[in-house]
Amino acid sequence: MRHRHRAIPLHPGAHAARSRAGFVEIRGTDGPHGEQARAAEIAALPTKDWRGQTLYQIRCHGGYGKGPHDYWVPEGLLWSLIDLQAFRCPFHT
C-alpha cells in the first residue's frame, strides 16, 4: 500500500476559505482572538513560493530532538490552529 499524503491540498484556496469560515464560526470576527487579529498575524509571517503555492513560515516549539525550528505551511493550516505561538510540527506532537 502506498502512502499518498499531501503537504499542500489540491485546492489550497478552497481549503483556506473553509478553514477561515470555521475559524469565524467559532471565534467571530472582532476582538483579540477574532478573524481580524488572526489575519494580521498571518499577514506578518514570512512567505515563500513553492510549486506555485504560497507557504507561510511558522515556528515549531518542540522541546526535544531538533528543538524549536521553522516550518513552512499553507494558509489553510494557519486558520485551523488554536494558537500560532504554540504550534508543534507532526514530529513534536
The backbone region for 31, taken as left when phi is positive above 0, alpha when psi lies in -120 to 50, beta otherwise, is left
pTM equals: 0.78
Confidence label for 67 from pLDDT (cuts 50, 70 and 90)? confident
Q: How many CB atoms lie within 10 A of CB 17?
A: 14
Question: 51 is in which domain, residue-wise?
Answer: 12-92
In the block, which residue shows the cell 482572538? 33
Q: pLDDT tens digit string along 33-44?
A: 889 999 999 999
Q: Would residue 6 count as lying in a domain?
A: no
Q: Would residue 51 count as lying in a domain?
A: yes
Q: Would residue 4 count as lying in a domain?
A: no
CA distance linking residue 93 with residue 82, whole number of Å: 14
Confidence label for 68 from pLDDT (cuts 50, 70 and 90)? confident
Q: Would residue 61 count as lying in a domain?
A: yes
Q: Would residue 36 count as lying in a domain?
A: yes
